[in-house]
Structure formats: C-alpha cells, structure tokens
Structure 1
Amino acid sequence: MTTDLTMLVATALLCLGIPFIYGFGRFKQPGGAAWAAGNREQALAVPAWTERAVKAHANLIESLAPFAILVLVAHVSARANAATALGAEIFFWGRVAHLAIYVAGIAYLRTLAWFGSWVGGAIILAQIF
C-alpha cells in the first residue's frame, strides 16, 4: 500500500478513535453513562476539553472527504508520487496535532496546525493538476 493510502487509512482510524476521547469525558460526569445510553434529549454538563474534542472531531469529519478524494484521485490517475506522499503525511500529522492542541485549548497554535494539514492537501492537489 502506498504512503498516501496508508495516511488515508490512518486518518480514518483517527476519526473513528476521537469519540473515545470525548466519550471518556462524558462518562466521567455524574449521569454520563445513563445520558449516553439514553435519548440525549438534554445537554450533559462536561468539561471544556470534552466539548473541544467534539469540535475537533467535527472539523476532521469535514476535512476527511476532501482529503480522501485528493488521495484517491492521485492514486487512480497515477499521479501519486513522493510529493503526494509527503502531502498525505503532512495532512495526517497536522490533524493529529490539531486534535491534541484543540483538546488542550491552545487557540492560535490550533489554527496553525489546521493550516498545516490544509497545506498537505494543497500539495496533493498540485500534483493532480
């Protein structure tokens, strides 16, 4: 499997794993297990880091489809190369950094990590065209 596709799978696994992070924050709260098993009709008071993890997850979900499209188009059009591999790695590690920094609550560094992942996608896009 190419580096590009490996990073795509790693990003998908990251996306699938993030709910365990904020799930932990929810389950720690009084009534959290009952809330999770119920219909969630009322909000559950959680620490701020838990809500930030939810937001980081939503942000990754928004970015995952375009990233997947770029990686897959580069792959099927035979334009995948060392640059697309680098772009995919930058995207993945940028998203890991984004998650960690967002959960930690470091505002401006979070934006820099997000932009870094965007640059990774732009590198792949440049190779397609």
Structure 2
Amino acid sequence: METFPTELGILTCLTLMAASMWIPYIVGVNTAPAGSIPSDAPDGFIRIADPTQQRPWVQRAWRAHLNLLEQGIPFAVLVLLVDRMDGFSALTYWTAIAFFWLRVAHAVGYITAGARLPLRPLLFLGGWICCLLMGYAVFAAAP
C-alpha cells in the first residue's frame, strides 16, 4: 500500500482552511451593529455588507481570507506539479509543513490583530519563500 505524502495532506488541510475562512467574516457581518448594513439592500437578500464598513476584526478576517487565497492557490499548484513529477523530497516535506504553520499563524494573527508590523508581513514573506522553494522543487524534479 502506498503512503499518502505529507505534502498532499498539508495541501488538503490548507484547502479545508481556505474553504472555511468565510466563517469568521460571515459571523462578523451577521453580528454587525444596527446601521452597518446598507438600508437600500433588497429584502430577502443575504446582506453581506461592504467589508470596509465592517468592524476592524471583520475587515481583517476578510483580508486574511484573501491573503490565504493569494498564496494558497499558487502553492497548491506547485505541490500538485511536484507530485505529478514524483519529486517529493525532504525539501518539499519541510516546506509544506512550514507553509501550513505560517498560514495558520498569519490568519490567526491577522484576524485577532495579534500579528502587527513587522510580524504579519514577515509571516506573509515566509509563505512567499515557501512558494519559491516549492517552485524550485518543480524545476529540480524535471528530467
């Protein structure tokens, strides 16, 4: 029986995380104080107000979701390319683990405002470096 590569397990967890990052935003929008939803929104319409009009933590939740998608999608493509080329190695193993925990720390830190300058940009930079390393692994695996 073949083993399930850690990189694909990490990718699965990241995908589930990205698929769930709407939850904090929607909770924030639906617990918004009176007057924060535009009065001209049609009745019966699911009112997802302009993120810039929401409370700061709700705005940060929305941006954290976008940031995860900005890095998560390229990272996912690179992991799948390495898998296709049968190029998983110690580098890809540790890069995937680092990327996962950097993205978790970034999302939690962003939403809670616990990761302020310079930490949050450094966490994002770390994710970008992981993308570059996984990109290197694609080229290293090429015949």
TM-score range, shorter chain: 0.7 to 0.9
Distance 2:48 2:129 in 1: 39
Q: Name the larger-Rg structure.
A: 2
Question: Percent identity, aligned pairs only?
Answer: 31
Q: What residue in structure 1 maps to residue 79 of structure 2?
A: 71
Unaligned runs of 5+ in 1: none
**Is 2:35 the counterpart of 1:25?**
no
- Stretches of 4+ aligned residues off by more than 3 angstroms: 30-33, 39-45
Q: Which amino acid aligns with 2:134?
A: I
Tell me the CA shift for residue 42 of structure 1.
5.6
Find the aligned partners of 1:95 and 1:42 in 2 and give their Cα distance. Answer: 26
Structure with the larger helix share: 1
RMSD of aligned C-alpha atoms? 2.3
TM-score (normalizing by structure 1)? 0.85
Counterpart for residue 38 of structure 1: 45
Q: TM-score, normalised by structure 2?
A: 0.78
The CA deviation at 1:74 is 0.6
CA distance in structure 1 between the partners assigned to 2:80 and 2:49 by the alignment: 40
Question: How many pairs align?
Answer: 127
Cα distance change of structure 1 residues 95 and 2 upon mapping to structure 2, 3 Å threshold: same
* 1:22–1:39 distance in 2 versus 1, CA, 3 Å: closer
Aligned to 2:123: 113
1:50 aligns with 2:58: yes
Deviation by residue 1:50-87 (Cα, 9 ceiling, x = unmatched) = 10110111111122221111101111101111210111
The answer to whether residue 7 in structure 2 is matched with residue 4 in structure 1 is: yes
